[in-house]
Structure 1
């Protein structure tokens, strides 16, 4: 267990660095004198070679502990020493009838990484090197980080949370002011079920936001009013034009009736020899012209009626489309507000947890706790290993701070961080 008397001390003490160097050298010397042979693990990388193969083969031990070789398939090597792995691969090559006495040679090209997590400056995965100690692994991770439960750490956390809370409160206030503006644009018929929003306490909204939203409301209402006025004037002009065309049609019909009577009279005289063919032809031409004018007027009436219908539809659409768009904006606004409220509640909960924390700010001495976890058989988990203890490829180191003497890992910062 490593004790830091000054909780705010971020950099590694010189003695800690010296201890790392000393332990690494001692571990390397012990390894050179002979130790338990290294056993392969998932994540290791090896190079294979044997007589008859064109070039060395690079391979990695997969998550299942196998080496996968072309023409052979998966060969389980996890937990084997290099000599044992060579023998097993030779056995598979011989059994497959590919080689006779292949004399496999295996060498390490890389080891499974060591992982360092918790209260260190740069948590992550780090390349293993022979002789790597617990202290060396922590040093590669940047050394122990600042204990979260120091007065500085908690003060910064408190200020950050309060700043977040204030920003969220302002966001919610702005959204609610926007809601009032949107509600004011909707007709009474569209407000069913929205009474609670409409009756919201306007004291929650700042006066400046009320003024801005009132100006926006007036601008929106003017835009709708102006659009309706333009449409109404267009409808009035079309209606007037429709009336004139209808009067013209009535006149044309009277003229057409008179011309038809005149044509019938001239035709009757012609049949009795009392009128010439020229007179009949002229009467027929007049009747055809009047009929053509009548058809033209009726066509113009149809066109005006169609345009008038579209204008009336546009008038209705201005109100309906604006109402639908306002409701969509209101829905989006409410979702934003609910999201902001949920975030605010989370921040407030964190502030309450911070305020009720039993950790004394700046008074408690902090101790560094280290847990070494290994997937290797027989190695298991080691709590508070010696800083000079050897790590192995695939090991995980968890580093955390605790209050001195209570034997518990301090976890307040972990619960408060988003």
Structure 2
């Protein structure tokens, strides 16, 4: 038989537990006390003096947390104290059922101050940018920006992480890479100019200069000669096809106009022939005309009607030809524009990729001096931007390296080169 008894919590347990909670809050500091819970935080619920009552629950993506006997609460964007106050208010007067190892049921009515909630595991922080090992880091109270950057391997350009001494072979290879990227960028830029001139039909457009592209005048002249040749070919082909279609359309429209005029004349002639046929038929009826004359009038009407049908058929075919040629001209212009737009977009991507290669090669060449970091040369501290979530969204903060981070912070580290502006 299961025994049931009501149990109150010893005051000694409450005092010890509350003392530990107070000590933890003092260690966390005022900044963490003001921290607002976010999805991903793991909370621990305990009842002072009740052994093995601890329950851990994670704040879900909707911001809710299930606190066992006391139900589900919305925790996101609330401080721990705000959540605890609501839980204590809702739990006031509730009875908690607990079974002992012997199967005995204890009915416990905790006082509000016996309920304890704390953060068992904060959501991680994220370090990105110019650090050796970007990624997630576990949060711990008292962690500063300087410590977080150190745990991430220190402020250092990941591209230059392996450079510790000046290597002539590397310098030569990066110099060649840079020169190749400059040439590719110049070729793509001149191709962009040529495609833009073709698209706008601005054949007097001024190309980019050698100084602008960073190449020698001789190389510029050879590259420009090739693009000018392609531009001339495209110009001639475009004008030739357009002139052919325009002439064909003009001829078809002229034929339609002539056939229309012939149609009107034949209609008038047919009307006249039909009147003559009717008049001769009337004379024949009255015995005033010969039968041969009536047959002649009838034959003339039939011939005129037949010719009119032929002209109308030719006119219909002519109108269809005009429609076809107009559509062909529209399709020619649309296809021409689409092809050049696609080619220009491809050239733009190639120019951008070459620009990135130029920048990387320049960066690597200058990165040989990163060995001075290990030698103790006076290098400026990194610039740091912290992205912190608040109730309204994400806040962008510029903090000092000795400022403390908060759970869920995203830390962006930037190395400023010589003469670079410092974020204030």
TM-score (norm 1): 0.49
Report which structure shows greater RCO (CA 8 Å, sep ≥6). 1
Q: Give TM-score, length-normalised by structure 2.
A: 0.49
